[in-house]
């Protein structure tokens, strides 16, 4: 199928899309590479080999789909009555709620305003049931295959819904672990108290499952560009220089307070011991009309936290590592990137442990998290807060 890769209503390239293999076979013409995904623009400018660029284009497009490591993927595919996640990519023009890229059939007279999911409603009930319900036997009728749920990343079960006109993402826990939604809300509580720019998460229930719920932080005029895309063509040092180089690029693009906002993210990760701050869950927001870099993306995706690995008879033993760009490092080392810890008013976290304890107990009738585990989680959170207090005290 001959088609055009679009960014909103701007034509990027004329391509041939293989509807059987769900990928691209040929590039007929590059129209405006500046409006392409940043990672593809960089590849195009660096590589003179059209075959290499075609492979990267194909890789990028397939990367928009549901990943092979999605929790309970086999069950989801069965309920959606499809064989592989790639079958979903062209069901709704490849549209997403993270950006404005889409695939337009060459002879079809249609524009972005007619089809985008920021302005146009979509049916999500069947996909939500297929993705989040533990016991559903539903086999989709097909109407839920034209949704932004076709282009969601990550390993957690999730679904985009519309509630009161707002697009929300619902996310469950991973496999038999049900703590992730609570960690998302805890992160919001901490960020709100400390004044960190963040995506607000709340808790909701869907049938027999507790889920986190957050609004879409991208709109029809913006896109999320992940740190992975930004760093992809940069030298990899596997040390603090990767962090410094990343900040330098953001500052050169006119983003103010980039260092402070990244520090805030790592402060949060220290407090909740977030193990999964990979390069695809932080980045920047770009205006798709002007291509101007607007700001650091608000802090989001904080669920993989407060994992307790080691116990002794009396207390929780704190032993944790987080991600720092390409490195896995102890949280006590990562927090050292914060240049001025005393700017944090740690007293604003007074009461947050008790609030988290109350939240965990409120949904205990669904989660069946034991009182002992709740106690240990709160002890761990309290210790991280006290450790940050000591860091601030030493810096004063």
Find, among 11, 45, 46, 14, the residue nearest to 28 by Cα: 14
For residues 310 and 322, give the distance between their C-alpha atoms in angstroms, rounded to a whole number: 16
Confidence band, pLDDT 50/70/90 cuts, at residue 169: very high
pLDDT average, residue stretch 332-347:
96
For residues 360 and 65, give the distance between their C-alpha atoms in angstroms, rounded to a whole number: 33
| 27 and 147 together in one domain | yes
> Comparing 392 with 207, which gets the higher pLDDT?
392
| 118 and 233 together in one domain | no
| 141 and 238 together in one domain | no
Confidence band, pLDDT 50/70/90 cuts, at residue 308: low
Domain that holds residue 341: 222-395
Using alpha carbons, list the distances in angstroms from residue 292 to 34, 80, 223, 245: 12, 38, 11, 19
pLDDT average, residue stretch 263-291:
97
DSSP SS3 for 281: coil
| 276 and 338 together in one domain | yes
Average pLDDT, the chain: 92
Q: Which of 171, 203, 238 is the last residue of a domain?
A: 171
| 113 and 254 together in one domain | no
Determine, yes or no, domain membership for 181: no
Could you read off the pLDDT of 34-46 as tens digits, one per residue? 999 999 999 998 8
Determine, yes or no, domain membership for 302: yes
Global pTM reads 0.94
Determine, yes or no, domain membership for 126: yes
Could you read off the pLDDT of 248-257 as tens digits, one per residue? 999 999 999 9
User: Which residues have CB under 8 Å from 345's CB, separation 6+?
Assistant: 194
What is the domain count for the chain? 2
Whether 315 shows a pLDDT value over 80: the answer reads no
pLDDT average, residue stretch 228-244:
95
Confidence band, pLDDT 50/70/90 cuts, at residue 132: confident
pLDDT average, residue stretch 122-145:
79
Task: Extract the tokens encoding 297.
Answer: 């993306």
Task: Extract the tokens encoding 203.
Answer: 């808790």
- The CA-CA-CA angle for residues 283, 162, 297, to 5°, reads 10
Looking at residue 162, its pLDDT comes to 96
Residues 279-307, buried b or exposed e (16+ Cβ, 10 A)?
bebbbbbbebeeeebbbbbbbbbbbbbbb
Looking at residue 313, its pLDDT comes to 45
Determine, yes or no, domain membership for 292: yes
| 149 and 242 together in one domain | no
| 238 and 334 together in one domain | yes
Confidence band, pLDDT 50/70/90 cuts, at residue 135: confident
CATH value at residue 271: 1.10.1070.20
Highest mean pLDDT among 40-54, 83-97, 245-259, 299-313: 245-259
Task: Extract the tokens encoding 181.
Answer: 């939604």
Determine, yes or no, domain membership for 130: yes
CB 145 within 8 A of CB 80: yes
């Amino acid at each position: 199928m001959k088609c055009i890769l679009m960014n909103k209503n701007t034509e990027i390239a004329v391509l041939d899309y293989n509807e059987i293999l769900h990928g691209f076979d040929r590039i007929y013409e590059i129209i405006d590479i500046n409006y392409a995904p940043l990672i593809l623009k960089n590849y195009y400018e660096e590589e003179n080999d059209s075959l290499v660029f075609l492979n990267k284009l194909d890789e990028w497009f397939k990367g928009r789909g549901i990943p092979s490591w999605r929790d309970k993927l086999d069950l989801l595919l069965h309920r959606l009555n499809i064989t592989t996640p790639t079958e979903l990519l062209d069901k709704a023009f490849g549209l997403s709620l993270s950006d404005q890229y889409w695939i337009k059939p060459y002879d079809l007279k249609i524009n972005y305003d007619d089809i985008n999911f920021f302005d146009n409603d979509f049916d999500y009930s069947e996909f939500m049931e297929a993705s989040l319900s533990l016991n559903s036997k539903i086999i989709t009728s097909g109407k839920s295959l034209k949704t932004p749920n076709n282009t969601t990343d990550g390993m957690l079960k999730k679904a985009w819904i519309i509630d009161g006109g707002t697009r929300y993402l619902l996310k469950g826990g991973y496999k038999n672990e049900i703590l992730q939604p609570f960690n998302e809300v805890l992160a919001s509580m901490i960020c709100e108290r400390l004044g960190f720019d963040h995506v607000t998460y709340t808790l909701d229930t869907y049938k027999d499952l507790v889920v986190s719920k957050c609004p879409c932080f991208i709109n029809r005029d913006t896109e999320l560009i992940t740190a992975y895309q930004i760093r992809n063509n940069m030298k990899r040092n596997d040390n603090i220089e990767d962090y410094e180089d990343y900040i330098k690029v953001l500052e050169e693009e006119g983003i103010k307070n980039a260092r402070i906002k990244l520090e805030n993210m790592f402060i949060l990760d220290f407090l909740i011991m977030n193990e999964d701050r990979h390069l695809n869950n932080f980045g920047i927001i770009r205006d798709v009309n002007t291509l101007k870099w607007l700001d650091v993306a608000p802090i989001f995706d904080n669920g993989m936290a407060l994992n307790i690995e080691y116990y002794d008879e009396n207390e929780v033993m704190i032993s944790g590592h987080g991600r720092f760009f390409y490195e896995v490092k102890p949280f006590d080392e990562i927090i050292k990137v914060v240049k001025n810890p005393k700017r944090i008013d740690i007293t604003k976290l007074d009461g947050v442990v008790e609030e988290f304890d109350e939240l965990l107990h409120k949904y205990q009738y669904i989660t069946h998290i034991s009182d002992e585990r709740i106690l240990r989680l709160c002890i761990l959170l309290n210790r991280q807060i006290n450790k940050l207090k000591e860091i601030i005290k030493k810096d004063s």
